Structures are given as C-alpha cells and as structure tokens.
Amino acid sequence: MPNRLAGETSPYLLQHAENPVEWHPWGEEALTLARQQDKPILLSVGYSACHWCHVMAHESFEDAAVATVMNRLFINVKVDREERPDLDQIYQTAHQMLAGRHGGWPLTMFLTPDGAPFYGGTYFPRESRYGLPGFPELCERIADVWRTQRGEVEAQNRELLGALAVRAPAAGAAAALDAGPIAAAGNMLLGSFDREFGGFGGAPKFPHPTDLALLLRRQGDPLAREAALITLTRMAEGGIYDQLGGGFCRYSTDERWEIPHFEKMLYDNGPLLGLYADAWALTGDALYRRVAEETVEWLLREMTSAEGAFYSSLDADSEGEEGRFYVWDRAEVERLLGPEKSALAARRWGLDGPPNFENRHWHLRVVVPMGECSPPLDAAEAALLEGARATLFAAREKRVRPGRDDKVLTAWNAQMIEGLAHAARILDRPDWLLVARRALGFVRATLWRDGRLLATCKDGKAHLNAYLDDYAYLLSALLELLQAGYHGEDLDFAVQLADALLEHFEDREAGGFFFTSHDHEALIQRPKSGFDSAMPAGNGVAAVALQRLGHLLGEVRYLESARRTLECFWPQMQRQAGGFSTLLVALEEALTPPATLILRGPAAAVGDWQRRLAGGRGGALVLALPNGMAGLHPALSRPESDHVNAWVCRGVTCLPPIADFDELPDVLQPP
C-alpha cells in the first residue's frame, strides 16, 4: 500500500511513496499525530538527484525490518528540500549547532512533537560502518533517550531555540557604508585562489557563481579578473562540465574539477550561463561562447517542458550506479570511433591515461586544449574530433538515462530566465530570448495568482507559499529581460514583485527580508540571512534589484529598503566579508550607482546601439525604447527624434542627451 506521500507533487517524495515506512509529508497532520501519541518525529530531508539519499533509501527505507523499527518508534516525515527550503534552512542550522559541523543531504533529524530538534546527522548506514552507528540501532537509542531523559532533552531544546531566535541580524544604528568589505572579500578570494586548477580552496570544489561574478566586476584589478577567467576555463575543460552534452554538474569531488557528483541542477546552470557570456564579452575566447551554446542546447533538449518551463534537476545515478550514464570503457570508445578518431579522442579527453573513475572507467575531461596540441590540429583533425564527440554523444543517448526531477520551481526558473536573457543580449541570440520569455509566460500564467507567487508546480498543480528567493530572483530576471527587449508588462510585473517584497517579507524594524512571508506557516525559526549558499542570498538579490529599479523609476521606497538591508547586514560584512558576494554587489552599487541609459530614436538605429552596448562591464542598465513605443512609464518617457539620443543618469544626476555613440563608453564607466 502506498503511504501518505502518494498524493504529493514532489518527485522526491513520490520516490518514497511505496516504502514500507509510514511516511507523512510535513504538515499539521503529522505534528498533531506526534503530539497525540507523544512520539518523536523522524525528519528526513533530501532531494531527488541526491546520490546518498538514494543509498540510504535503498539500505533502510525500503527494508521492511528497518521500517518496522521506524514506524514503531516515530512519526516519520519526508521533506523535499527544494520544495521546502524554509524547513531545510532551519534544520540544517539546527544540525550545525547540535553537531558542531555542517550538514548536508540526506539530513536526518529527530524532533520533539512540537518540531524542536534534539539530535541529528546526515547519512546513516543500515549496519554500523564508516564510524557511524547502524540506523536501526540509532533509532532505538534515540527513542530510549526520549523516554528516559525527557528533562535533559527539553532543557537542550530551550537552549537551542533561544540560540536560533537570536541568529537573525537585529536592528542597528544607521551605518556609514564604505567599500572596505568589498576589498576584503576580493582579497580573501584571491588568497584562497588555486592558480593551477582554478577555484578556491581544495576539494570538494563548487562553482560559486556569486564569487566569480564579484571578481569579474573588479575592472581595475587584473588579478581578480584573471582568477575568475582561469576558474571558468578550468571548469569548462574539467569533468564537472559535460564534454559531450553540455551543462554543469553540481560540484567536483577533487580539486581538479575532474570527477563530479554527477547530478545536474538548474540553479547552477542559469548563473553559469550568464558568466560564460560575460567571459566571452571580455575576452572573445571561443571556448566561453561554445560552453554557453552547449549549455543552452542541453537546457532545451533535456530540461524544458512542452509548456516552456524548466525542470529542476537530473539524477546522479542511473541503473542504480552513480555516473553510469556518463562514463566510458576505452574498448567501447575504440569500437565506436575507429583507430584515427579514437586516437584523437584519447589525446583530447584523457583516454590514453589510467582510468579516473573508480579505477575502472574513464570520465571525459579536456586533457589537451585545442590551442595547446602539439603539433597543432589542422582543420581536418578538428573536424574529426568534433565528429568523435557527436558519435559518442549519439551512443550515450541510447543508454538508460538518469532520472529527471520534473517539478518546476519558481526561483530556479527565474535564475535560468535571467541567465538566458543575459546571454541572449551579450551573444546576440534572439532565439534564446524567446525561450526565456516563454518560461516567464509559464510562471505568470501558472505560479502567479492574486498578486502572490507560488513556489512549485508539477503536472498542472501549483502550490506552496513562495519564498524570498522566488520574488527576488524573478524581479532580477525581469530587469535583465527589460534590457534584452523592453516590454511594458515586464516593468509592471517588476513593480508588483517589488511591492510584494516590501509588503510580505521586509523586516520593518531591523531591515532586510525574512526568507518566509509574514503570513507563512509558523516554524521554530524565521530565517533571515545575507549569506550566499550554492545560490545567491535572497537579501542580496533583493537589494541589488530594488536599487536598480529604484534608480530607474525614481522610486525612493525601493532605494530606502535596499539601504536598510545593507545596514542590517553591515556588521556581519565588516566582521567577515567572505560569503556575502551578492550583498557586496549591492553595497558597491549603493556607493556608486550604476548608470541608467535610455535609448530613443528610430528602431533600427536604437537596436544597433543596444547591440554595441551589450558587452559593456560598467554595470549600466540599458533600455532600448524606439520611436512609436506608447504607454511608457513617466520615468522612462523621453522625446522621440529622427536619430538616436542616449539619456544617461547616475543616481539622481542626469546628463544632457548624447547623440554620438563614441561618447558613451567613457560616460558609462564608474567614476
């Protein structure tokens, strides 16, 4: 018999619907049952692409004997961390406080019936190994603690809940903001930069797009730019990037970007797409353009629904083995390619060396970049190599594919919409812009109701109160879409989102934004963080977007809200700037507002100026508004003329119209 997860929308929860464990989704029914039966809650948090989540499920949750123990001792609750990032944040924080170390997935927490955690860990094996207790044994021990040491548990809970309550930044005095944290964060990143392999620190290595974006913005610092470009290059050449099919995996298990955990997440690939477009604009290097193009090909081929929305992730596993879809046997490659092509492929992707995955398979990565071959490849050899890639890709397509999480998340779709729109503008790909606009249309039609966003949708069912990230990321995406091709309804939608942020999420006393809305379900903590994780901090994205929209429209409410956000997190940024890259972008633009540029004139000439400005790195917000465009917001209304005029403002200072394109580059650079 299916358990109570059978009616859920999350593919991760549905994976557990046939478990013998009597799983409940998170909700009042499970909490009430725990209180009525005076049983602790066993909370298991994961996601569908997670390898170790699958391992624990196969070992324990699918085992009838283990399930009997769990069902006897606990009320068992399953949570998809992608649908409920609020719960994941809270209980990951609690785990760190209880265990003194970072958590991860699967997250395994034991809670009192009112939701307060008193013990936790991540993966536990069925039998004792890796220095970890066997899971059934652990369950018995935890239940015994609950029965026999209730007083100690309740005392610990009071202390933990008190600590959680003071973690959100409190109101402080108005701050005299300065650029010190920006320089400190840049120096910290450069101090941990791996010059040989790119990235920061050692294994495991994550892409950290927010840090790379901060470094690329430091135009006067060639070392910062070099660090970002080396990292983007090494990632593109490494196994974290799918050399055959495009798209990036979540992280590398080694310092060389060689062997990833093989899950591919939408939230990584959207920001990385935009960064590779920027890297191409800075350098003209064909590698960066190729990576952007292949990433979009992957998105369209494997991650886009018939309605135009984007799916969430691809699994690390296929046929029960991590990476099986992606790795190769050398004999298979030689059989598929023949002698000449396989020799080239071996040199290019490391097949002539020892196996690099589990000592028996090869995972492709670029060993010899095209420009470094000795002797250099001629045109015929380059064509052969491209043919080899196409042959291997076609053969791989016949394999059993990794599972796909086909729910649609508002925040993650917003990140990809922004990345697509940005790359479309930089690389002059109007077809990509159409893809981005179609996804936005899905979000508006399906996930926007009565002036509020919903967080997730699958099979036509949209639900769950949206989070800060949903609103902030979508607002940021709309600002990018407005620059790629102005539509008045996008600006109207941006204003609605900005107003919803202020109404439903802003901490009106201390500044900044809570992760959950004011009318959200009451939980044991209400997170408010400015720290970037694998995704940019919602507070940072909101501050950047509100400042830009505020300057564009002359809306003081947005500018003041962004300022209060910076002041809220200012003490933290002063103490330790690392990890605040998105808020530091907001700080930089608060100190030196980027230029806002409006182009008016004949459509063809305005479009030409817009394309020529697309690769600029000054952070300017450029709107192309050709003659004949009616119903413009009063703040954008400029006179029409028979030639292009550029109207440039920075903060509250505006220049006379500029009719000579050659004057613009100097005007748009930060002072």
Q: For residues 443-467, give the mean pLDDT.
A: 97
Q: Reply yes or no on whether the pLDDT at 168 is more than 70.
A: no
Percent of the chain surpassing pLDDT 90: 91
Please, which pLDDT band fits residue 171 given cuts at 50, 70 and 90? Answer: low
Q: Which segment of 254-263, 373-382, 394-403, 513-522 scores lowest on mean pLDDT? A: 373-382
Tell me the C-alpha distance between 355 and 291, whole Å.
25
Q: For residues 232-253, give the mean pLDDT.
A: 98
Kindly report the average pLDDT of the chain as a whole number: 95
Tokens (6 digits) for 412? 């993650």
Q: Reply yes or no on whether the pLDDT at 291 is more than 70.
A: yes
Please, which pLDDT band fits residue 173 given cuts at 50, 70 and 90? Answer: low
Percent of the chain surpassing pLDDT 70: 97
Please, which pLDDT band fits residue 172 given cuts at 50, 70 and 90? Answer: low
pLDDT reported for residue 446: 98
Question: What are the pLDDT digits (tens) for 525-536?
Answer: 999 999 999 999
Tell me the C-alpha distance between 232 and 290, whole Å.
12
Which whole-number Å values give the CA distances from 240 to 46, 354, 399, in the listed order?
22, 19, 20
Which residues, other chains included, contact 212 with Cβ-Cβ below 8 Å and sequence gap of 6+? 228, 231, 232, 275
Q: Which segment of 14-18, 168-172, 266-270 scores lowest on mean pLDDT? A: 168-172
Question: What are the pLDDT digits (tens) for 537-576?
Answer: 999 999 999 999 999 999 999 999 999 999 999 999 999 9
Which residues, other chains included, contact 199 with Cβ-Cβ below 8 Å and sequence gap of 6+? 193, 205, 207, 208, 231, 234, 235, 252, 255, 257
pLDDT reported for residue 601: 97
DSSP designation for 315: -
HSE on the CB side for 396, CA within 13 Å?
A: 22
Tell me the C-alpha distance between 239 and 357, whole Å.
11
Question: What are the pLDDT digits (tens) for 69-97?
Answer: 999 999 999 999 999 999 999 999 999 99
Tokens (6 digits) for 197? 């392999």
Sequence-ordered strand ranges (E) for 35-171: 41-46, 75-80, 107-111, 117-121
Tell me the C-alpha distance between 144 and 133, whole Å.
15
The answer to whether residues 205 and 251 touch, using CB atoms and an 8 Å cutoff, is: yes
Tell me the C-alpha distance between 248 and 326, whole Å.
12
Q: Reply yes or no on whether the pLDDT at 371 is more than 80.
A: no
Tell me the C-alpha distance between 87 and 148, whole Å.
28
Question: What are the pLDDT digits (tens) for 414-427?
Answer: 999 999 999 999 99
Please, which pLDDT band fits residue 382 given cuts at 50, 70 and 90? Answer: confident
**Residue of 77, 102, 73 whose CA lies nearest to 89:** 102
Question: What are the pLDDT digits (tens) for 605-636?
Answer: 999 999 999 987 568 999 999 999 988 999 99
Please, which pLDDT band fits residue 220 given cuts at 50, 70 and 90? Answer: confident
Which residues, other chains included, contact 620 with Cβ-Cβ below 8 Å and sequence gap of 6+? 594, 595, 596, 597, 613, 668
Please, which pLDDT band fits residue 370 given cuts at 50, 70 and 90? Answer: low
Nearest 5°: phi and psi at 131? Answer: 75, 15
- CATH T-level assignment (fold) for domain 11-165: Glutaredoxin (3.40.30)
DSSP reduced 3-state for 453: strand
The answer to whether residues 629 and 615 touch, using CB atoms and an 8 Å cutoff, is: no
pLDDT reported for residue 563: 96
The ranges of the chain annotated as CATH 3.40.30.10 are 11-165
